[in-house]
Amino acid sequence: MDSHMTIIADKGELLSNPQGYQKLLGKSIDLTLTRPDLSFPVHNLAQYMQKPTTVHMQAAKQILRYMLNNPAQGNLLASSLTAQLTVYCDSDWASCPNTRKLTFGYCVLVGTSPISWKSKK
């Protein structure tokens, strides 16, 4: 998902049958435990589970295409771990166009391998 793309709640037409969208994102949320690259777009789209639109479904399908084209991405520990601990964090004030809430996150690495990450609105 493009990081500059903003998804708005009322953009597009409401889906007549939201169960397909809800099942797709529900299964994708499970994958975010081992695929931190999917965490942001999946949780971003999960905000619209109650009233998904065609724009939300198109973005969900784009995530599926990404997973299909990048199957080897995931959380792997390097065989030659160094004891160097690195932490990255970022925040964005009032970036959500619907709620105007703060979004922040962090990622902790041991060597080059991620061991913990979180993002929260």
Count of beta carbons in the 10 Å neighbourhood of residue 46? 16
Rounded to an integer, what distance in angstroms lies between the CA atom of residue 85 and that of residue 115? Answer: 10
For the chain, what are the domain ranges? 1-75, 85-120
Q: Are 64 and 78 in contact (CB under 8 A)?
A: no
Token digits for 38? Answer: 């999917």
Which pLDDT tens digit goes with each residue over 48-83?
A: 888 899 989 988 998 889 888 887 766 666 666 677
Which pLDDT tens digit goes with each residue over 4-36?
A: 666 777 788 888 888 998 998 888 888 887 777
Report which DSSP code applies to 50. S
Give pTM, 2 decimals: 0.63
